[in-house]
A and B are shown apart, each in its own frame.
Chain A
């Protein structure tokens, strides 16, 4: 097997909602069983289980880390399991590890999954959690910073340097929500899409971030079945093949993060992953960008050269990244459109990548979807991991 030789052959997902009555184990059962059934394999064919850590839920993390999931599901063929934590980059690492399980012979089929339930945690405690996660406890936290403020700091600087207007920035939300309203798994499914003006009319959380530019914390989960590319091809079912990968580390804390290094990292990782996959920018059917907040979308669009330099925000305002536009972009609406499930938004985006390549995306299906660019990042953006996925394996 080549180092990129894995494929996703089954997916399962529950709608992202605020549903405290739906327990984490409800979600785990439903998503994992759906993914295995979708793959066409038997439950006892699953030999490895790798879970993205539910960052905000230490008790659940312990249960999953210590092997409860294969036992609950009765996965009698399971040889090993673990959880992986790199925040929003966790699922990328789950998939890497799944490749290693398969390549080393530990497992032929691996179940990768995620669950997070925010709704049973009090709002002040959630604010406290996100005030400290990814924030330095000596040099940042005592000043009263939060995730939202960190994003506000980056957004204000980007808008200052690029000339991106508040209306252009707000239009990112409109674009993301245009996909979300068509996604049955989104918290905003069927809801009206706010105009950029409506986004700017919502109250300020911290400058320049408006309430509608922030994320709704919600509950959700999903799962994928991963096998070798060779086996996927033999099975002959629709699948998503991993074709290329690249990554760059930036910094753990925002105070020492170099914005040029981040932008260059976005560029280099895209080029390296596409080169490994043997494709060009124009071959990409969907830019499935996971950036959690709207602010980084124009930066990413410019770095990927799908928007001219200095025109990232304008492209969103023109509707080019919206549903029906000419640049299919974050087709579940990223976290602002999907609802924020902690580390799970990136998991959901991998499921969406597979769903699109399998041709199962319903109303949001991008026509003739052949290649998907997918990125993830952890914490406040400590890294950027890019993978390229295709509906056929590399020969």
Chain B
């Protein structure tokens, strides 16, 4: 770590992809939210691994998520984030539970942060980082 402010990186970070998670990001480009699935023990896995963390099988595939989720917890940031995220403030980071039985970190968007609550129903929406990466954000399900 240098001691100068000249080296501050303002570029948006891209996911540090592993070979076995590449299908997730490829599908994201088409607006599909995938969950890794073990063909031997039937575990749904998030985040994706090289081998199933339950049974160590390499016989892994993918299932398509409905894209629906429920907010498990959230925190809205107003300050003290990296300079590269300053322009987004305030923004809300959340853990959301998918009906496929896995939990993801995400952002909750398209609503006032003060309207977000634990247990809120949300649906996936995609944020383009560049031509290769779309991040799965979630927005409230409108009644």
- Which residues of A are interface residues toward B (Cβ below 8 A)? 56-58, 120-122, 124-125, 127-129, 131, 136-146, 148-149, 152-157, 160, 203-209, 214, 253-256
Please determine whether A156 and B103 come into contact, CB atoms closer than 8 angstroms: no
Contacts of B76 in A (CB 8 A): 206-207
Tell me if A128 and B47 are in contact (CB < 8 A). no
Residue pair A205, B78 in contact (C-beta under 8 Å): yes
**B30 surroundings in chain A (CB, below 8 A):** none
A137 in contact with B95 (CB, 8 Å): no
Given the known inter-chain contacts A139-B15, A157-B73, please indicate yes or no for A205 contacting B47, CB distance below 8 A: no
CB distance from B15 to the nearest CB of A (A): 4
Per-residue A-contact encoding for B98-116, CB less than 8 Å = 1, 0 else: 0000011111000001000
Given contacts A205-B80, A206-B75, 5 further A-B contacts (CB under 8 A): A125-B7, A142-B15, A143-B105, A160-B118, A207-B75
Interface: B9 (CB within 8 A): yes
A371 to B104: give the CA distance in the assembly, Å.
42
- B139 CB to nearest chain A CB (Å): 14
Within 8 A of A (CB), among B2-46: 2-5, 7-9, 12-18, 21, 46
Q: Return chain B residues, CB-CB under 8 Å to A206.
A: 75-80, 93
**Which one of A56, A120, A141, A152 lies within 8 Å of B13 (CB-CB)?**
A141
How far, in whole Å, are A316 and B6 apart by their CA atoms in the complex?
44
Nearest B residue to A161 via CB reads B118
Nearest CB of A to B126, in Å: 13
Query: Is B78 within 8 A of A127, CB to CB?
Result: no
In the bound assembly, the distance between CA atoms of A137 and B14 in angstroms comes to 8
Q: Is the CB of A128 within 8 A of B80?
A: no
Does B72 interact with chain A (Cβ within 8 Å)? yes
- A123 to chain B: closest residue by CB: B5
Q: Which of B47, B75, B83 contacts A127 (CB 8 A)?
A: B83
Q: Quick check: B1 and A153 within 8 Å, CB to CB? A: no
Distance between A342 CB and nearest chain B CB, rounded to angstroms: 12
Which one of B1, B72, B77 lies within 8 Å of A125 (CB-CB)?
B1
Output the residue of B74, B77, B78, B129 with the most chain A CB within 10 A: B77
Contact between B105 and A145, CB atoms less than 8 A apart: yes
Smallest beta-carbon distance B28→chain A, Å: 12
Interface size on B, residues (CB 8 A): 46
Taking a contact as CB atoms under 8 Å apart, the answer to whether A122 and B13 are in contact is no
Separation of A125 and B80 alpha carbons in the complex (Å): 11
Q: Chain A: which residue is nearest B2 at the CB level?
A: A125
Distance of B138 from chain A, by nearest CB (Å): 11
Q: Give 8 closest A-B pairs by Cβ, nearest first.
A: A152-B75, A137-B16, A157-B73, A206-B77, A144-B85, A138-B15, A139-B47, A131-B82
B-side contacts of A131, CB under 8 Å? 81-82
Determine how close the nearest CB of chain A comes to the CB of B127; give it in whole angstroms: 9
* Pairwise interchain contact B74-A122, C-beta atoms closer than 8 A: no
Q: How far is the CB of B72 from chain A (nearest CB, A)?
A: 7
Q: Are B79's CB and A204's CB within 8 A?
A: yes
B135 at interface by CB-CB < 8 Å: yes
B5 proximity list for chain A (CB < 8 A) = 122, 124-125
Q: Are A56 and B1 in contact (CB under 8 A)?
A: yes
Give bound CA distance, A45 to B95, whole Å: 52
B91 at the interface (CB under 8 A from A): yes
* Pairwise interchain contact A143-B77, C-beta atoms closer than 8 A: no
Bound-state Cα–Cα, A96 to B103, Å: 35
Bound Cα distance A253, B53 (Å): 14
Q: List chain A residues, Cβ under 8 A from B106.
A: 143
Q: Name the residue in A124, A152, A154, A253 with the highest tally of chain B Cβ atoms < 10 Å from its Cβ.
A: A124
Write out the residue numbers on chain B whose beta carbons fall within 8 Å of the beta carbon of A153.
Answer: 73-75, 93-95
One of A121, A149, A253, A254 near B3 (C-beta < 8 A):
A121
A379 to chain B, nearest CB (A): 15
- CB < 8 Å neighbour of B82 from A124, A157, A214: A124
> How far is B77's CA from A395's CA once the two chains are assembled, in angstroms?
53
A209 shortest CB reach to chain B, Å: 7
Would you call B75 and A138 a contact (CB within 8 A)? no
Structural contact, A156 and B75, CB atoms closer than 8 A? yes
- Choose from A127, A136, A137, A254 the contact partner of B80 (Cβ within 8 Å): A127
Question: Known interface pairs A127-B83, A160-B118. Does A145 touch B47 (Cβ–Cβ under 8 Å)?
Answer: no
B16 touches A149 (CB 8 A): no
Report if A138-B81 is in contact (Cβ < 8 Å); known contacts: A128-B8, A144-B93, A255-B95: no
A124-B83, A128-B8, A157-B118 known; A149+B1 contact, CB < 8 A = no
Q: Which residues of A contact B17 (CB under 8 A)?
A: 138
**Does B82 lie within 8 Å of A128, measured CB to CB?**
yes
Q: How many Å lie between the Cα of A154 and that of B93 in the bound state? A: 12
**A144 pairs with B75, CB closer than 8 A:** no
B-chain residues with CB within 8 Å of residue A122 when the two chains form the complex = 3-5, 8
Supposing A121-B3, A122-B5, A156-B74 touch, asked if A144 and B81 sit within 8 A by C-beta, the answer is: yes
Q: Say if the beta carbon of B88 comes within 8 Å of chain A.
A: yes
Q: Which B residues lie within 8 Å of A156 (CB)?
A: 73-75, 118
